[in-house]
Chain A
C-alpha cells in the first residue's frame, strides 16, 4: 500500500482506479488462426509475482480482436514488406537473406524465444537486431539497419512470427548473468522527474487504470507491436524509451547496452508466455 501511496503522490495528475479484475474463468482466449497463445503462465521462480500475463489480456475487446485474425492485424502488412526485403539483393556481396538462409524465414523458428542471449564470439548479449545487423554488415557487405526503425522492426516481426505460440525461454544464468543483473537494476531504479521505476508501474500497479490506459505487466512477448497510436510497428526498446519519457526521464539509447540489458531482464519476466509478434496494442 505504501508504494501505491507514493505513486499517487508522484503522479497525482494521473487518475488510478480499480484493480485488475479479469477472472480466470471468463478470461478471453487468444487464438490466432487456430494457434492458441499462452497469455498467462506461472511466473518463473526468480520473480516476485505468481503469474505472468501478456499485455494482450489488458487491452480492450476491440483491440484484442484485431490480433486474433492475421488479416485484421495491421502489423502483418509490415511482415509482408519484410518478406520483400528478405528476397532483395543488398550490399557489396550481391546477396539477399535468402541466398544464405535457404530454408526461408522458417529457418528461424524458435529463435525469438531465446533472444536476447549471450553471443560467445562477440562476448556480449545480443538482441535479434544485433544478429540481423551482423548478417547485413559481415555477410552481405551492406549498411546496418537502424535499430527501432521501420525496416528493422519489420524484419524482427517476420522472424518473430516463426516462433508464434512458442514459450519465451531466455537464459539468465551463465555468461548472461551479469547483463541480466544490470537489466534488473535498471528495472527497479527510480528515475526521471516523476522519480519512478519500471517496477512501480508494471509490478506494483498492473491492472489499474492510468489515465485511459489499462496498466499491464509491461511484457515483451508481443513485440514488435503494432500500435494504434502511431499506426506502425514499434520495437521493444522504443517502447522502453516511450515509458521513460512518460516519467520524464532521459531514455537510454535504443540499441545501446543499457536497453539491451533491460530487454533481457524484461524478456525473462515473461518466460513461459507465448511469442505473439507482431501483436496489436493501443
Chain B
C-alpha cells in the first residue's frame, strides 16, 4: 500500500456561467514505476495512480490514464465551464485497489 497518500484540489468558490476557470489537483503518491530494483536486486512492484477523473454533477469532465513514467505526486491543471451550481468530484484509482476521492462545491457568480 502506498503511504501518506493525500489528495488536494483547488476550485474557485464561484464562477460565471459559461466562463472558463482553472482547476488544480494534486495527489501525494510515490508512483513506483515497477522498473526499479531494491538493494537485493529484486524488482520493486509497480504501484501508481493509474486513473484520475473529475466529474461535475455526475457528468464526466476529464479522465486521465496514467502510466509508469509519470513522476511522483501527479498534478493536473485544466479548465472547465459550468452552467449551474454544483459539485466537482475528483477520483484517483490506485494500482493497489485504493480509491481516493475529494469534492468541491461551486456557486454560480
Contact = CB atoms under 8 A, between A and B. Distances in A.
Interface of A: 71-72, 74, 77-78, 80-81, 231
Contact of A71 (B6, B26, B28, B72): B26
A80 B71 CA distance: 20
Interface string B55-92: 00000000000000001110100000000000000000
B4 interface: yes
Given A71-B24, A71-B26, A80 B6 contact: yes
Interface residues of B, number: 11
A72 B8 CA distance: 11
Interface in B1-57: 4, 6, 8, 10, 24, 26, 28
Given A80-B6, A81-B4, A74 B24 contact: no
Contacts of A81: 4, 6, 28
B97 to A, nearest CB: 22
Nearest to B24: A71
10 contacts: A72-B24, A72-B75, A74-B26, A74-B73, A77-B6, A77-B26, A80-B28, A81-B28, A231-B71, A231-B73
A71 B71 contact: no
A77 B10 contact: no
Given A74-B26, A77-B8, A81-B28, 7 more contacts: A71-B8, A74-B73, A77-B6, A80-B8, A80-B28, A81-B4, A81-B6
